[in-house]
Structure 1
């Protein structure tokens, strides 16, 4: 039986039809990637499934008693801690815990605790902490109020809440947009192990290849389902297009041959009957249209002039803000043939390093030397906020290229697919992907020798991402890339630099090795391994990191111990209420044997539950003691 059934769905927005009698079925446990061009209606479809908008026709049916979860559009806020914010997302658990604290009805209290056990409420804090940790929040951050964090980090909290609910159907719309590559890799693993169904809108090829069972393609108002990940979808769709085009060509040739016979012999009496037969046969031929391919997306970068090596060197450089050092002792070199990706969690200094290379941040110590002729193109992930919404792309480019002719201005925009119509539109009317194209055009207007790309693909669709990869392959200058998109990193970079522990060092391996390294590091952290290696060999840093790993590893145990202790208290409270009721003579005077039996049965069950909770508490405390450093 299907978990979600969409039948003949029609959706219109502002008079434009996005889905036209589209159908889709999702079985329990299946994970479906939803792809399509920007503006095709993917997010609108998710909104309709969630009940935010009403269909213009057709039906959306979710299986009875099935739960559905999605990332809320509004980011969480307020003074509540991250861990409490995630926990509060489980409304049933919150209501049951409140009722367990306030009810005086022993029978109802028993029902409440049975339901709490059924939803595994005692393990909820540890589960929420593990999800937040995977998305980049350490134990200290989890206890800080949501108001301390920026919008991007709050979106991670919203994502954590949706994952924590563990619904039967999970709706995710570009879940990796606010994640770094480490959190993206963690999310891929979580989704692979997730037992429910998921419908995932994403332009992240790695996510679509590593997580989903099938691809739902939204194209020209229709939904088609293809088994496998995105790579398999591209292969099958390409083969289907070729077969369909060949069939259309064969049919066109057959039609032309028949029409030629009719045209030649229609006027001849001896051939008139045959001509009429051919006309009828011609009318019966099926109408097979050739696959209509969208205009392919193409990007191109201006070719820079050659520079002698080294293009840029830095010697014992330290950088930071307001006297606080973020990265120190950097002695690195860049040449024109370098293709480098920066790895490391958000907040470790990747964007700070990019600002140093771009000349937007001066070193606190040390020196940076580069060729006086070197030009730098910088794409920053938040630069779209600096665009003037009432101006057009032509206005922006003309200001940036003051000595260029109008033809040259338009040509630079055209390099990134901004045709005349879009070049003359207000920036406020452009999509996120079109704004990203404008920023790429602005960043490369001077034919830079060094191109700095900080999350360039956040709003680009899959075709535009592939176009960017092809353009970078042809680019003659150096590239320093920061991206959560593993496919982009693997396709572009030939060297990886790890930003961690206040410095930058080469990572010896490819993205596959980096994934393995992350998993191994997480395993050691979970085990509280005191001998985990440290990249810089510093004894003090090693000890400090080991202590932090131990704290992270102990956090679930501490929460487990607290949860077990709290459950014990609630069970003791329930026991006291039942014993008080059983000691009441009025109970027996009323002669209600059913209530007496129920209370005695619950009292016996309480003994087993108290023993189990006490055992959990003792086990957690014992493991905490064993994990303490000697």
Structure 2
């Protein structure tokens, strides 16, 4: 499917790929991993022919359909279901062709539609949208009524529905919740064609792919298996390379010692020269280069007595409408809380309540007098000053500190001296996320609220965040679609659903099983759901629409038969009239000939009519 040979690519004078090679056969599901900035998204641009390599070649099997998620979220009055169905351009083309096709072409078009599964398309599209969190009502709403994150889900659904020969996905879980992420893992694990997915989500990389393509040191290395297998194989490879390096260095040292000892002794000069030549022929040691280590180091907060937050019969929401009601909750200084529940149920609302960004509509909330909160929200990166450097922004946020202290503080979040002087617009997504975390932690918070903190962090940075959170002595409230992050950092789960917040009795494995059981129960329930009934009705309407040309053909045949029968009746009337023989006997032979011709034409038209009726009946029976 993909052949990359000796590929070199430079950007702004920096070499991203230098003689990179990789072969990816048809049907491989490949996870692309590597530290931020190594060129993962650039590799997609090269595959899509948006940019050209500086050297070498990169090729895709001729004729292969390549699909990816559009950068711009779909919008307008189109519904999510219509937008997803439109992604199958072949189906759309054939349905449009039915409206204007000649009668003799209709059968071929219908056969082609059947071959591509056009009749089941609305059901498949609705199923994908449902898996990504759109119920039947949401599937029928205009796209303009959804937020950008939800519209990006529609773009993802469209790419999945089209099922191209090669599907490219760049961080597909960034706009998803735990429920949708788990559905996507299963869907990608069953993808029938070649899949390349850039992801830092360990759970997805362990579930959905069977190969890992590692980008490091400007090269590409393909490993068989999932991410856990890749980590083990990479560790073994590094150990082997380190052992090889030690062996070569031992040989070099031993021979060099001989040379140093005997090179000026006449009787050993020849042997010494031989050793020098042997040293020159030794292979270079393998480069055992570790990826740059990312660190997080949160400031130590002041100790507070429990509880730091207490909610008593609290209702909270927006514009007079309560999203969450009757909240009886408390947060203690050592709490590590994970918020569960589908997007839209109120997880971010609860986080804002804890952070003080929302006040209760009713009830009472009590906060510790000395409580300081660090709130990392999903929009945090957009709030950065794009034209200012990290050091300049932190200097404004912490005016009481001198420049050396500012730079030392940024270093606690993995922003080195060099990165501190880069404008925010030129930082990578992961670096922006670290800067945003540095800003929210500048008050040494006793409560750290993190709403999807890992969306732009690579796997190494996520591991560093886990380590820092486990060392952090304050309280943590976490909203995340990253199963691995939650499993490693939280020990108390709250389920946000149906306007309520309740403790979840179990761990994340129990929650995963609960979601799987719900999916199975929904699939096995008797009779179609309301969503499925709507899909079936839409399918039937689509089939009736597809049968419209056949209906027109039946109507045209009936009109033709009626017209010919009227012509024949007029001829028969003249032949039956005695006046014809008395006054215009010469016309009788022509009338008889016309009568015979009309008999044949009526018979042919009636045959066409019956054939059209049978074709229409068959089409409507399927509908």
Specify if TM > 0.5. yes
Q: 1:232 Cα shift? A: 1.3
**Residue 232 of structure 2 is aligned to residue 238 of structure 1:** no
| CA distance 1:266–1:65, change in 2 (3 Å) | same
Residue 531 of structure 2 corresponds to 552
Distance 1:292 1:355 in 2: 43
Distance 1:130 1:559 in 2: 13
Distance 2:614 2:159 in 1: 35
Residue 65 of structure 2 corresponds to 67
Q: 1:555 Cα shift? A: 3.1
Distance 1:583 1:603 in 2: 16
Q: 1:399 Cα shift? A: 2.7
| CA distance 1:502–1:573, change in 2 (3 Å) | same
When structure 1 is superposed on structure 2, of 283-292 and 220-229 the one drifting more is: 283-292
Q: 1:321 Cα shift? A: 0.7
User: Which among 22, 25, 47 is matched to residue 23 of structure 2?
Assistant: 25
Distance 1:438 1:284 in 2: 48
Residue 299 of structure 1 corresponds to 296
Distance 2:520 2:620 in 1: 28
Residue 352 of structure 1 corresponds to 349
| CA distance 1:290–1:9, change in 2 (3 Å) | closer
Residue 78 of structure 1 corresponds to 76
Distance 2:436 2:503 in 1: 29
SS at match of 1:246: helix
Distance 1:95 1:47 in 2: 28
User: Which among 154, 159, 164 is matched to residue 157 of structure 1?
Assistant: 154
Kindly indicate whether the alpha-carbon contact (under 8 Å) linking 2:35 and 2:291 is maintained by their aligned counterparts in 1. no
Kindly indicate whether the alpha-carbon contact (under 8 Å) linking 2:95 and 2:546 is maintained by their aligned counterparts in 1. no
SS at match of 2:478: strand
SS at match of 1:345: coil
| CA distance 1:565–1:514, change in 2 (3 Å) | farther
Kindly indicate whether the alpha-carbon contact (under 8 Å) linking 2:310 and 2:329 is maintained by their aligned counterparts in 1. yes
SS at match of 1:456: coil
Distance 1:582 1:171 in 2: 56
Q: 1:405 Cα shift? A: 3.5
Distance 2:556 2:51 in 1: 48
**Residue 144 of structure 2 is aligned to residue 147 of structure 1:** yes
TM-score (norm: length of structure 2): 0.88
| CA distance 1:255–1:356, change in 2 (3 Å) | same
Q: 1:150 Cα shift? A: 2.0
Over the aligned positions, Cα root-mean-square deviation in angstroms equals 2.6
TM-score (norm: length of structure 1): 0.87
Q: Can you give the 5+ residue segments of structure 1 that lack an aligned partner in the other structure?
A: 531-548, 590-595, 618-630
| CA distance 1:64–1:603, change in 2 (3 Å) | farther
Residue 545 of structure 1 corresponds to none
Q: Deviations over 1:521-563 (max 9, x none)?
A: 2333445579xxxxxxxxxxxxxxxxxx942343333333333
**Residue 482 of structure 2 is aligned to residue 482 of structure 1:** no
Kindly indicate whether the alpha-carbon contact (under 8 Å) linking 1:525 and 1:552 is maintained by their aligned counterparts in 2. no
Q: Deviations over 1:373-414 (max 9, x none)?
A: 122111111022222122222222223223334333222211
**Residue 279 of structure 2 is aligned to residue 282 of structure 1:** yes
Kindly indicate whether the alpha-carbon contact (under 8 Å) linking 1:67 and 1:169 is maintained by their aligned counterparts in 2. yes
Q: 1:424 Cα shift? A: 2.1
SS at match of 1:110: helix
SS at match of 1:51: coil
SS at match of 2:247: helix
Kindly indicate whether the alpha-carbon contact (under 8 Å) linking 1:526 and 1:552 is maintained by their aligned counterparts in 2. no
Q: 1:360 Cα shift? A: 0.8
Q: 1:584 Cα shift? A: 12
Residue 441 of structure 1 corresponds to 438
Q: 1:579 Cα shift? A: 9.2
When structure 1 is superposed on structure 2, of 449-458 and 85-94 the one drifting more is: 85-94
Residue 179 of structure 1 corresponds to 176
User: Which among 335, 339, 344 is matched to residue 336 of structure 2?
Assistant: 339
Distance 1:448 1:515 in 2: 31
Distance 1:169 1:9 in 2: 20
Q: Deviations over 1:392-449 (max 9, x none)?
A: 2222222322333433322221110111111122222211111110111112222211
Q: Deviations over 1:227-268 (max 9, x none)?
A: 111111111111111121121112112101111111111111
Distance 1:491 1:557 in 2: 43
Residue 364 of structure 2 corresponds to 367
Distance 1:577 1:186 in 2: 50
SS at match of 1:353: helix
Distance 1:298 1:14 in 2: 27
**Residue 545 of structure 2 is aligned to residue 566 of structure 1:** yes
| CA distance 1:315–1:121, change in 2 (3 Å) | same
Written as runs of structure 1 = structure 2, the 5 A alignment for 1:183-194 is 183-194=180-191
SS at match of 1:55: coil
Q: 1:54 Cα shift? A: 2.2
**Residue 54 of structure 2 is aligned to residue 45 of structure 1:** no
**Residue 491 of structure 2 is aligned to residue 494 of structure 1:** yes
Residue 58 of structure 1 corresponds to 56
Q: 1:184 Cα shift? A: 1.0
Number of residue equivalences: 582
| CA distance 1:578–1:485, change in 2 (3 Å) | farther
Kindly indicate whether the alpha-carbon contact (under 8 Å) linking 1:106 and 1:578 is maintained by their aligned counterparts in 2. no
Q: Deviations over 1:90-115 (max 9, x none)?
A: 22211111110122x12222221111
Residue 540 of structure 1 corresponds to none
SS at match of 2:16: strand
Q: 1:580 Cα shift? A: 9.0
Residue 91 of structure 1 corresponds to 89
Q: Deviations over 1:141-168 (max 9, x none)?
A: 2112222222211111111111110111
Residue 515 of structure 1 corresponds to 512
Kindly indicate whether the alpha-carbon contact (under 8 Å) linking 2:98 and 2:546 is maintained by their aligned counterparts in 1. no
Q: 1:117 Cα shift? A: 0.9
Kindly indicate whether the alpha-carbon contact (under 8 Å) linking 1:454 and 1:483 is maintained by their aligned counterparts in 2. yes
